[in-house]
């Protein structure tokens, strides 16, 4: 029987979330009594195995598998094991919608999960809403919180660009400069950076001198750099896709030792070894990180557990291959979202598709999420009305060829007024 809103409380949701990590202490017989006979809970994992998001997809996959292992070792969800059903969306919006439909109509998945690139989310979410399939995205785009999507689409495990840049701008203006040129990918994610950082730096008394949008499929970037005005004090860069190493190398070759201060989003270096030849110029430059790639001196026990579980060493690379650098600043969102799905299902007593609305209501009720094994990136605050989570942001500086955290924002730094109330929408 589908739960009613009255049967779900914020206390129930948060008690379940806090208790998730403790389930592993139950004796084996208690954990598996029901799980061995029950049908598994199927999570449809929309993964960028190919296309410009492939590097992220590889690590999103590893992180998801690690989270599922921890959850299943702890007894699963409501006594049922979790099964991941993965489908490659090719980092393509049209194919993304087709994948969502397969989850709902062919694989009989309980929820959809995992999407990163914003144009794929925007292309897929309407179909999830039509099929009434809860769709948990790990994307960063502002499309969820803006009200563009629907009640079935949630982003509870990773913060969005608007909150990130709003929290970063004061540090940039105070420490690096106020005359900024922005270089960003020419699609929804990059447009979020363009719009929200421009407003944020202007609020600090700064200005953006030039917006340089680059096609995400571009393979060489030198031709764009002459557009950077000479009076630029800060070059703000965020680039994505397989050519990011080329981007940062060409940036260094163009400017040499006399360029403006560099503030980048780590997207420009995700899955790239900072010690790669040609990146020496990055020494002393700054990056936003969603979660610090290098293990910091004050690394928490929760992060240490997470880092080991996903198979990442202290430098942010695979423990089995030092050249296989992770997408550490983003992939934690998969780990945390999987634990939120677990908490929501347990708080709502989820038993099957008839309880999908109750699951969404349970997640909407979550509110504050303390730092824990389930949330190793840090404490968070989920806004049930906008379906968007807010959390700490990190600025790191390249020192000695490593990223060293130099600034941590508060959650309050990231908050902005609601732009939608999804809870007012009917299921």
Tell me: pLDDT of 308 over 50. Answer: yes
Q: How confident is the prediction for the chain on average, in pLDDT?
A: 92
What whole-number distance in Å separates Cα of residue 419 and Cα of residue 422?
10
How many H-runs (helices) and E-runs (strands) does the chain carry? 11, 17
Tell me: pLDDT of 18 over 60. Answer: no
Domain boundaries, the chain: 5-160+329-390, 161-298+396-406
Residue 231 pLDDT: 97
Confidence of residue 100 (pLDDT cuts 50, 70, 90): very high
Q: CB-based burial of residue 200 (10 Å sphere; 0-12 exposed, 13-18 middle, 19+ buried)?
A: buried
Q: Which among 164, 166, 163, 195 is positioned nearest to 182, based on CA atoms? A: 195
What whole-number distance in Å separates Cα of residue 58 and Cα of residue 48?
8
Look at the alpha carbons of 74, 79, 81, 82 in this order and tell me if their dihedral is positive or negative: negative
Residue 12 pLDDT: 52
Confidence of residue 25 (pLDDT cuts 50, 70, 90): very low
What are the structure tokens assigned to 319, written together?
Answer: 């423990």
Residue 27 pLDDT: 43
User: Helices 10-19 & 328-348, crossing angle to 10 degrees?
Assistant: 120
Beta bridge partners of 45: 86, 113
What whole-number distance in Å separates Cα of residue 49 and Cα of residue 58?
6
pLDDT in tens, 360-377: 999 999 999 999 999 999
What whole-number distance in Å separates Cα of residue 341 and Cα of residue 78?
12
301 Cβ contact list (under 8 Å, min separation 6): none
Tell me: pLDDT of 315 over 80. Answer: yes
pLDDT in tens, 199-235: 999 999 999 999 999 998 899 999 999 999 999 999 9
Residue 369 pLDDT: 98
CA 272 to chain centre: 18
Higher pLDDT, 3 or 268: 268
What whole-number distance in Å separates Cα of residue 136 and Cα of residue 356?
12
Q: What is the mean pLDDT of residues 342-346?
A: 98
**Model pTM score:** 0.91
Tell me: pLDDT of 350 over 80. Answer: yes
> For 161-298+396-406, which CATH class?
alpha beta
pLDDT in tens, 178-191: 999 999 999 999 99
**Where are the extended beta strands (E) located within 273-393?**
286-289, 317-318, 321-325, 368-369, 380-383, 388-391
Q: What is the mean pLDDT of residues 334-354?
A: 98
**Where are the extended beta strands (E) located within 311-401?**
317-318, 321-325, 368-369, 380-383, 388-391, 394-399
> For 5-160+329-390, which CATH class?
alpha beta
Tell me: pLDDT of 29 over 90. Answer: no
Q: What is the mean pLDDT of residues 151-156?
A: 98
What percent of the chain has pLDDT above 90?
Answer: 89
Lowest mean pLDDT among 18-27, 246-255, 353-362: 18-27
User: Helices 356-364 & 328-348, crossing angle to 10 degrees?
Assistant: 120
Confidence of residue 2 (pLDDT cuts 50, 70, 90): very low
Tell me: pLDDT of 408 over 90. Answer: yes
Beta bridge partners of 399: 402
The SS3 of residue 194 is: helix
Quick check: do 5-160+329-390 and 161-298+396-406 share a fold?
A: yes
Rg, C-alpha atoms of the chain: 21
What are the structure tokens assigned to 371, written together?
Answer: 């730092």
Q: Which uninterrupted H or E stretch holds 100?
A: helix 93-105
Residue 17 pLDDT: 53
Q: DSSP letter at 26?
A: S
Confidence of residue 257 (pLDDT cuts 50, 70, 90): confident
pLDDT in tens, 108-127: 999 999 999 999 999 999 99
């Amino acid at each position: 029987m589908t739960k009613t809103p009255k049967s779900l409380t914020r206390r129930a949701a948060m008690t379940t979330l806090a208790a998730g990590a403790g389930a592993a202490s139950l004796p084996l017989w208690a954990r598996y009594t029901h799980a061995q006979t029950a049908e598994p809970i199927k999570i449809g994992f929309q993964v960028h195995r190919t296309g410009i998001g492939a590097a992220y997809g590889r690590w999103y996959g590893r992180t998801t598998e690690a989270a599922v292992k921890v959850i299943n070792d702890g007894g699963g969800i409501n006594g049922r094991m979790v099964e991941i059903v993965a489908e490659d969306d090719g980092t393509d919006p049209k194919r993304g919608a087709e994948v969502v439909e397969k989850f709902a109509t062919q694989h009989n998945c309980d929820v959809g999960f995992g999407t990163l690139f914003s144009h794929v989310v925007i292309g897929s979410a309407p179909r999830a809403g039509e099929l009434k399939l809860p769709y948990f995205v790990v994307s960063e785009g502002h499309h969820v919180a803006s009200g563009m999507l629907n009640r079935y689409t949630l982003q509870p495990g990773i913060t969005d660009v608007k909150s990130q840049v709003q929290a970063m701008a004061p540090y940039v203006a105070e420490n690096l400069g106020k005359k900024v040129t922005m270089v960003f990918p020419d699609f929804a994610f990059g447009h979020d950076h363009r719009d929200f950082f421009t407003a944020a730096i202007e609020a600090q008394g700064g200005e953006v001198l030039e917006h340089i949008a680059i096609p995400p499929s571009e393979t060489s970037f030198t031709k764009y750099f002459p557009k950077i005005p000479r009076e630029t004090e800060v070059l703000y860069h965020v680039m994505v896709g397989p050519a990011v190493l080329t981007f940062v190398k060409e940036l260094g070759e163009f400017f040499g030792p006399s360029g403006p201060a560099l503030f980048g989003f780590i997207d420009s270096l995700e899955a790239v070894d900072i010690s790669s030849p040609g990146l020496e110029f990055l020494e002393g430059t700054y990056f936003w990180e969603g979660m610090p790639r290098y293990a910091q001196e004050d690394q928490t026990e929760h992060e240490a557990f997470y880092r080991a579980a996903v198979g990442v060493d202290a430098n942010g690379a695979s423990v089995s291959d030092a050249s296989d650098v992770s997408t550490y600043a983003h992939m934690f969102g998969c780990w945390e979202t999987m634990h939120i799905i677990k908490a929501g299902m347990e708080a709502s007593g989820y038993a099957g598709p008839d309880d999908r609305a109750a699951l969404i209501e349970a997640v909407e009720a979550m509110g504050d999420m303390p730092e824990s094994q389930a949330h190793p990136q840090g404490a968070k605050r989920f806004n049930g009305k906008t379906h968007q989570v807010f959390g700490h942001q990190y600025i790191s500086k390249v020192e000695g060829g490593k990223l060293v955290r130099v600034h941590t924002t508060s959650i309050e730094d990231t908050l902005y007024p609601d732009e939608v109330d999804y809870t007012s929408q009917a299921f």
